[in-house]
């Protein structure tokens, strides 16, 4: 298969890559080209080449909030590494690359005795993905900590956006699909490490008690206003409902799990059944939180 990105320094290209290897669902077809990008210059050149060749592209983080279609993705899947995985800070103001894992950021914050991000303990994924989807838990969201971000658009142009310019809402931001968050600034506050660690430990214990361990993408549906999606699904008697290798978790009803042999179509069919039954019984329309890539 011809490499359309040949000759670009600061990248690694894998042809016909199995995307199931890169998602927490362990489901999905293949990407025509899977590209690790290690520098800003390389990212700019890659985006220009993609634009020139009129190719589709998608940025993948840790693949923890993603369902890839069985037929895969015809185009370029980008993954940030190198400079995009760095964390630095001055006091409790943190500068993080978009590819930094939430866990790695939290480890640095704890070491620096900086508090405020404890609610993120146990949330999988990258900071870039967390900002794009305004990830959160325990009543807090990334938007509560974010100062500003630097975004590179599909033309390779960088722009600084403040918290107020991002258009945050519940599990949502107005950062456009195709724009890539390359740098994130987060403001925390100084506190004793022992207190921070105690809250992290409590949050991790809570997540481990409530959340399934099978292959999944976390909460599949957004919580409707004033309601919890998991409670609605459980109230409708749907725990354990299955299609093929996909099942509504017996432990947490807002988790659709891959029991080991599920395909994307199984998950989508199960999600469709859940939405239809919940709408019929409650009048509430559930909306997917998980990104569907096809």
The catalytic site residues sit at 171, 219, 289
Q: Which of 164, 184, 183 is nearest to 174 (CA)?
A: 164
Q: What are the helix (H) ranges across 255-294? A: 264-282
CA distance 62 to 124: 7
237: left (phi over 0), alpha (psi -120 to 50) or beta: left
Which residue is listed with tokens 């704890």?
110
194/170 Cα distance (integer angstroms): 31
Instruction: Decide: 251 and 210 in contact? Cβ < 8 Å.
Output: yes
Where does the chain show beta strands of DSSP type E? 11-18, 30-37, 57-59, 66-68, 73-80, 87-90, 93-97, 114-115, 136-137, 140-141, 146-152, 158-162, 180-187, 189-190, 242-243, 246-248, 256-258, 291-293
Structure tokens of 15?
């042809």
CA distance 236 to 248: 12
């Amino acid at each position: 298969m011809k490499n359309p990105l040949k000759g670009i320094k600061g990248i690694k290209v894998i042809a016909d890559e199995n995307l199931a290897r890169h998602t927490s669902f362990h489901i999905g077809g293949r990407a025509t080209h899977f590209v690790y990008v290690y520098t800003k210059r390389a990212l700019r050149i890659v985006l220009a080449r993609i634009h020139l060749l009129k190719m589709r592209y998608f940025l993948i983080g840790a693949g923890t909030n993603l369902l890839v279609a069985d037929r895969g993705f015809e185009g370029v899947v980008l993954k940030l590494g190198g400079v995009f995985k760095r964390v630095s800070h001055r006091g409790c103001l943190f500068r993080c690359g978009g590819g930094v894992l939430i866990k790695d950021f939290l480890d640095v914050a704890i070491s620096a005795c900086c508090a405020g991000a404890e609610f993120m303990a146990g949330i999988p994924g990258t900071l870039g993905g967390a900002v794009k989807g305004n990830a959160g838990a325990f009543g807090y969201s990334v938007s509560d900590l974010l100062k500003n971000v630097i975004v590179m658009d599909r033309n390779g142009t960088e722009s600084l956006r403040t918290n107020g310019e991002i258009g945050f809402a519940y599990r949502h931001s107005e950062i456009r699909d195709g724009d890539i968050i390359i740098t994130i600034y987060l403001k925390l506050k100084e506190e004793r490490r022992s207190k921070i660690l105690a809250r992290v430990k409590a949050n991790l214990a809570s997540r481990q008690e409530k959340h399934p361990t099978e292959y999944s993408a976390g909460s599949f549906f957004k919580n409707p206003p004033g309601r919890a999606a998991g409670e609605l699904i459980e109230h409708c008697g749907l725990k354990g409902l299955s299609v093929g290798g996909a099942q509504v978790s017996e432990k947490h009803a807002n988790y659709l799990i891959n029991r080991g042999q599920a395909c994307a179509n199984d998950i989508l069919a199960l999600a469709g059944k859940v939405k239809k039954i919940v709408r019929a019984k409650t009048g509430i329309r559930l909306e997917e939180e998980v990104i569907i890539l096809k």
